[in-house]
Amino acid sequence: MRGALWLAVAGLLVPGVAPAQYAGDEPPSTRPTYKTLRFDEDWGVLAHPESLPSRDFFDPIKYVPLSADGTIWAGFGADARARGELWSNYQFGAPRGADHDDDFLLTRFRAYGDLHWGERARAFVELKSSLATDIDLPGGRSAAYVDTFAVQNAFLELVPWQRGGERLRLRVGREELLFGAQRLVSPSDWSNVRRTFDGATATLELDRVRATAFFTRPVRVRQHKWNDHIGGDRFYGIYGSAAKPLAGGLGLDLYWLAVDRGDRTVNGTTGDEHRHTVGTRLHGAIGESGFDAELETALQVGSLGGHSLRAGMVSAELGYWRPEWWGAPRFHVGADWASGDRRAGGSVETFDPLYPYGHRWFGEIDAIGRSNLVALQGGVAVRPLPATTARVTVYRFWRASRNDALYAASGSVLRPGSASRDRPTGTEIDLTLGYRIDPHAQVGAGYAHFFTDSFIQSSGPGRDVDFIYLFFEYEI
């Protein structure tokens, strides 16, 4: 079974096409590239193909004129990804009696159509199918793995005001959200089933500021039916960023994010939740020193079941890049803290990471989430060959409070806080390798090992976890 699985993934490797460069009347600095949010790509630059020094095989479908003057046009694209996963001692061997060793294949296909009426109106629709072979791990073929067919994005866009490079953009419908470094708001691309929202957004793009106000409802996955939003749950707020670096070259983000949820339980407190998150993020290169830094802090206030809610988090990372050295290495160290409850029941002090991209921050295994957490990390990324990136990262985890649970990346309770008084959770080592075949295709592999520590070992099954994956992705 395992041999067949890896051969199936490796068999998807196909040659791609060569990159092309763009040059037009007002050319962009580079040709458009594929982005995490496909609707953020601007393929209108292909309106003048004669100005291109070279072409891409898929250019004819990226810009399809529908009017004589080319102001009405359509674009199409797709993304196919296959990832094989091999697990040993999944979730540290809990619950007892379940199968914790398994291998399986995840596949995801997305396709979109993008229709533009000049510069003031647009319609975008993206469909998705996420599938998996048999999964015997606890939870099985859950909504994180399988969503047979769904509308991932479907919105109408209007631009009621535009002046030069500044504009106001309104969208209504279903839309993925991504803000900042994705610590708190992300489509969660690593998941086989990406996250999305129903609602409206308004984005103001000025010379110095970009700000998005939004009012949405999280979409729930119904694996074999049309997805819809979750009851009365609401997610809304404002996320703003400086469009140009501040003095010293750093970027600045400021945000307010709010969630309303019904009938929720956090460390023994149950009821309707109203949580407001106010935060800031500084990020960017530090002059020409080779150092880069990022600092994000957030405070949460509100109520849960009539009890007060107050929580917070701090995340910091310092990097150092030496492009003139062999492999152009970038070294980094980081530290994270997210508050936990000092006692179960009553007032709530557990930080909620909202809708994060947990996989980006706390390891390939996705064992730990940004709640009741203290974490340190360090590592190095190198490019030993052209278009190849190799990374080694080490993480060390503790619980912030002895009286609160250990939380998974999904936000669910991994181990209850009452199970042990110990704080040390464990250490994870990740090894990853990625190779960009061409602008359309990439392949990657990774191995991760989690060494359990006293809290996990004393609160239930405490086996070390091994995780191996191999993926291939093709975008057009």
Three-state SS string over 268-285 comes to: CEEEEEEEEEEEEEEEEE
Along the 476 residues of the chain, how does pLDDT read in single tens digits?
444 334 333 333 333 332 233 233 454 436 788 999 999 999 988 888 776 667 889 999 999 999 998 899 999 999 999 999 999 999 999 998 889 999 999 999 999 999 999 999 999 999 999 999 999 999 888 888 999 999 999 999 999 999 988 999 999 999 999 999 999 999 999 999 999 999 999 999 999 999 999 999 999 999 988 899 877 899 999 999 998 888 778 999 999 999 999 989 999 999 999 999 999 999 999 988 999 999 999 999 999 999 999 999 999 999 999 999 999 999 999 999 999 999 999 999 999 999 999 888 999 999 999 999 999 999 999 999 999 999 999 999 999 999 999 999 988 999 999 999 999 999 999 999 999 999 999 999 999 999 999 999 999 999 999 999 999 999 99
Task: Report phi then psi at 467, rounded to 5.
Answer: -140, 130
Q: Give the pLDDT confidence score for residue 14 in this predicted structure.
A: 32
* Residues whose CB falls within 8 Å of the CB of residue 269, separated by 6 or more in sequence, listed in order: 304, 305, 307, 344, 345, 346, 347, 348
Domains in the chain, number: 1
Domain limits for position 448: 2-475
Q: Give the pLDDT confidence score for residue 76 in this predicted structure.
A: 98
- Of 396, 156, 191, 353, which is closest to residue 266 (Cα–Cα)? 353
Q: Give the pLDDT confidence score for residue 39 in this predicted structure.
A: 98
In this structure, is the dihedral angle defined by the CA atoms of residues 93, 94, 99 and 105, taken in order, positive or negative? negative
Q: How far apart, in whole angstroms, are the C-alpha atoms of residue 456 and residue 300?
A: 28
CATH of the domain at 375: 2.40.160.100
The answer to whether the predicted template modeling score (pTM) of the entire model surpasses 0.85 is yes
Q: How far apart, in whole angstroms, are the C-alpha atoms of residue 416 and residue 426?
A: 16
Q: Give the pLDDT confidence score for residue 7 in this predicted structure.
A: 35
Tell me which long-range contacts 127-135 makes (C-beta under 8 A, separation of at least 24). 127/151, 127/152, 128/152, 128/193, 128/194, 130/106, 130/192, 130/193, 131/106, 131/107, 132/104, 132/105, 132/106, 132/107, 132/192, 133/5, 133/104, 133/105, 134/104, 135/102, 135/104
Q: How far apart, in whole angstroms, are the C-alpha atoms of residue 241 and residue 285?
A: 16
